[in-house]
Amino acid sequence: MGLEERRTAWLGLAWLANIVSTPALIVFNSMMMTKYLLMAPITVSAIHLLTTAACVALLEALGVFGSEEKGQSMPKKHLAVFVLISCISLASASYSLAWNTLGLYQMFKLGILPVTFAMELMLALRRYHFVLVTALAAVMVGLFITLYRDSALRLPGLLMATLFVASTGIQQVLCGRLQQMYSQKPHQLLLKTASILGSLLLLSGPFLDKGLTGAWISSWEVNVPGLEMLLASCGAAVVVNLTQYMILGQFSASSYQVFGTFFKSVIVLVGVAVLFNDRWVDSTGYLGCATGLAGLLLYGAFALKQTSHQANQATTVKIAFGPGTEA
């Protein structure tokens, strides 16, 4: 297997692992809070990040990532901005999940798509064909159809979800942008940010959790099943974080949202409907999902056609001008 084939295989595996591990992480976190009463989601996120940093450092020391160059030095200002936005994203995600139903939370996550779309246009990271814009609009219409009838929506939950959507969209765009600007490999950027972000959240998390749940983490009655669930969530978080950075280093944030987040949202929403009989899944809910799925398929088909066309053009140029000759 050649280098390009191995790279494609690793990216395919990363997509699959990300799509599977993200809903698993949500389920683990929900069970820790509801069944094992570990009411400290932000502190748990800090533990997840520090575990991720430790695992990545270990894998790097073992040579799993190969002998790769360190890349350019990243300015502390850019690293600080990225860490700050990531911190806001994680904290607002916990509050948004607490102040909204799980169904609403998952539907709000689809709102990250237009944020990444706008950010990429502002930074001129890509140009969008009319067909792609139409496909993105279909995904958003699907979100609206499912969301507008939900009477569980409240102003505090809406405001926190808006902050979560905005900060997460910006964070995902910056994740890919920083890797490209400073020639950072996914694990290198993740190792730099996870350790800092995890430490910050570990210090501030207990206070934020107290404001969110009304209880200090020290009041948790430690039990073996709860610790086992925490360990399982740490494993899922390592996979989620590492694969997300890998994908965002190779694909645009909007493509990640269209292909990854939509599938994960549908998995979680259908799972909620089946396991908990959540009321959002009626004919309107199915219509919203079907509309979003149609937009997803349109986006994927056209993006694949566009990529194939660009590859053919590149091959034609190479043949016409020969190797080592610039057009």
130-141 pLDDT, tens digit per residue, is: 776 777 777 677
Q: At what angle do helices 155-181 and 224-250 cross, to 10 degrees?
A: 50
Say how far apart CA 292 and CA 266 lie, in whole Å: 10
Whether residue 1 has pLDDT greater than 70: no
Work out the burial of residue 56: count CB atoms within 10 Å of its CB; fewer than 13 is exposed, 13-18 middle, 19 or more buried: buried
Whether residue 88 has pLDDT greater than 80: yes
Does residue 152 contact residue 102 with C-beta atoms inside 8 Å?
no
Q: What is the separation, in whole angstroms, between the first and last Cα of the chain?
A: 31
The number of angstroms, rounded, from the C-alpha of 82 to the middle of its chain's C-alpha atoms is: 15
Q: What is the mean pLDDT of residues 166-170?
A: 90
Return the pLDDT at 22. 83
Return the pLDDT at 202. 94
Which residues contact residue 273 at a Cβ distance below 8 angstroms, ignoring those fewer than 6 apart?
Answer: 280, 281, 285
Average pLDDT, rounded, for the chain: 78
Q: What is the pLDDT of residues 205-263, one digit of tens each?
A: 999 999 888 889 989 988 899 999 999 999 999 999 999 898 888 877 777 776 666 66
pTM of the model: 0.77
Whether residue 57 has pLDDT greater than 90: yes
Among 41-45, 234-238, 284-288, name the one with the lowest average pLDDT. 284-288
DSSP-derived secondary structure letter, 36: S
Rg (CA), the chain: 21
Does residue 140 contact residue 110 with C-beta atoms inside 8 Å?
yes
DSSP-derived secondary structure letter, 75: P
Whole-number Cα distances in Å, 105 to 244, 252, 277: 19, 23, 16
